[in-house]
Structure 1
Amino acid sequence: MKFCGYLPELNKKGVKMFNNAHRLSWLSSLVTAAFLGLMTLLSGCGGGGATAGNVTPDPLVVSPSAAVAYHGNPVTLYITGGTKPYTVTSGNSALINVPNSVSGSTVIFDASNVAADTDAILTVLDAKGVTAISTITVKPSVINNTLAVTPDPASPGTGCGTAVCSGLMATVSVQLQNMATPLVGRNVRFDVVQGDFQFITNPGATTFADTITTTTDQNGNANVRLRANVNAPTQYAILKVTDVDGGSVLQTTFTIAQYTDGTGILSVVPPTQTIQAYYKGDCSSGVSVDYIIHGGTAPYTVQSTSTGVATVSPGTVLTNGAGFTATTHSSFCPGTATIDIRDATGKVIQATLENKEGTNTVTVTPPVTIAFFTTAPATIVIANPGSATFTVGGGTPPYYASSSDTANVTASIVGNSLTISRTGVVIGETVSVTDSAGATKSITVN
């Protein structure tokens, strides 16, 4: 500030020197430069320059600050702030072994397997001694490296080899163990990650989904089935398996191979069958016959166009060379059922089953008839009081009995047994016995 107070005086001298014509040109140039420099100093007076000092770095942060790890599934930590270079140490190097020095800003590690949840602390140290930590919880990795995709059938056609042929099936299996102990009843989810395939969700292989959940059996195995999409091109596909109860994950890659051999020669053997009943007016019911499908592209759907004549089972035939069964019904007699067979590419052929009426006449032999009778004589004598029992039969049951004097004589029939009872004085009272057709027998009671 004191220096700037002299600037007006110096400025006047500078102008005077500048206007002095008898000075040498080099001295004039020197003075001019001095003048301009002083003017620059003048313009800076009253201001203050920045004072250089230490720059405070951003706080040291490691993220995530807490994470879950499974053996076989690497975890990445990200370091920001602080002062590079960084070093990392593990509080449990047997569980998590990390490199001591970090070349960049990330740390990637894989934890060892454990039988139960175990924590380990990773400490990040920067160049100035500042620390940050991340707490890692290592959980049991129960999905072992037994995830397998097995084509079903294993070799369905030329060119597929160990790949899953387009339009065909495969079995996916995985085993869950905790330190060699099978986990029974564990929930396991299978997901499509990439590729033209879906999981089969019903026994008939007619419904499909991108995800399916099942449980492990007594050996810790979980099995599902998948189908490659019809006409899917050759490709790599990826599926993922997740232990729903524990969280561990495993992925695998398999190959889908395009397979179209035989699409022009779809056939069924035999193409038609006939079942004939014996009697006229009758058709068979519950009689079964078999058909075999060849060629085309599996799987095949099978459907009867007239279920009143015949039904088919199963509705889906999974492999080339397998078959289905048609069973007759007599709801429509006679009749012919057309059976549509459609392969995975949409090609359709038909088979037929005729349920034919018989040709023989039914001979009906009339039953032997016995005339209505009773073992009671036309006139009987019964003591007073007293009763007598007789048999009735033939004719048309059931039978009925009545008395002309119920005060002194009663009659009853149970099944084929007739009982006549006397309870008073009688003089030729009549008991009538009748069958359901109206035939009557009369008995006089004395």
Structure 2
Amino acid sequence: MTPARRLTAILLAFCALIAGCGGSVGPSPVVNDPLAITVQPASAVIYPGVATTLVITGGTGSYVVVSDNQAIVPIVSQATGHSLTIIANPVSADTSVNLSVRDTGTAPQKLVALTVRPGTIANAITITPSSAACTPAICTGEEALVTATISQAGIPLPARGVRFDVVSGDVRFITTPVNTSPEVLATTVLTTSDQLGQARVRLRVLPGAPNQTALIQITDPETLAFQRVAITVRQVPGPGNTAFFVIPDTVTFTGPFANTCANNPTASIVIFGGTPPYNVVATVPLSGGGIVTASGTPVTIRGNGSTCFTDIPVTITDATGRTIVATFSSQQGTGTAPPAAVTIVPGSAAITACGGSVNLAIQGGSTTLGAAFGVASSSSAVTVAVTGRTITATRVTSVAPAPPVPSASPVTISATDGTTTGTASITVPTTCP
């Protein structure tokens, strides 16, 4: 086979997948030397839990990687492109692990020498609250001391830089000295280990923080080894270990009718425990609250207008920053709204001639079982008749030789459904022969 054909055969070789305790690296976008495999770095010191990436080039571009200590450096997945990321498991002492890298052709196998060193962040991380009121948690608004030990194979590492980060939750690190005002808080702080390899930082739980679990991370910047620690935050009980609560903690207003929410509703809540005075803050569309000076004092909360709303908070904070919440909702009712009051339209009209008439309409109101609306006139000179919701008012005339029929003007026409009454004013001729 000519050298050119041999090279073509190597480049087109099938990529074999890992079996057993090995792994494979996909085709490399860069093949520097088809007859030799290159791994960068060729040797490395790595730490448990910290990702290390190897770059592999040369050969056919398809590789099989095998670890001689699968328990310490497992090869668990195929790499992406020409890189392989490895993560070591914890060790108690320096441990040597060799990786063998071969391609799918005839290039010589390449060995990578790894030294796995114990992690520098010890698992024995302590968190000491300044108060035992919420033990084992930290009370809202209070301080705690976080201590981490930096060591290598049990040997303390003094003067080592250590980074503390807030991963999640309402906790912050105090960056100012003790008894310094104002206190400065941060989510990240750098410090240095002492002669015993211990790094310490002060931690503050934010005032008003609800019950929660926060996460912080301690990192050795030199090795990138890290540990994460969960911190439990609890609302501190009041004096004498009394609870801090509100009754009721859920209020629902209900409107009188379907499609209608309550109009300007009010309700009282009562706060107990904690440390007075309390600051009660209502969220729009609610109003009310303010400063409450004593436990057991009712507080009036109002809904503004007839707006419907769901789970609107009223926040209650005591003198130490502990916070509880009552929620308010306003929902539609289920009843049937009564009809509108009876009215007559137009509200005023005129009959200009004797014997003339005018029609008026009844709006609103309701009658049952087909009963008619009751109608009446304030003058006998004007007669009224009703058909359905139509009123006909007529100016009567005399029949000769009877005298003329006098009338005051205007005349009031009324209609009623038995519950409400509407009226209209009609101008008429005062005399009709």
TM-score (norm 1): 0.38
In terms of fraction of residues, the more helix-rich structure is 1
**Structure of higher CA gyration radius:** 1
TM-score relative to the length of structure 2: 0.39
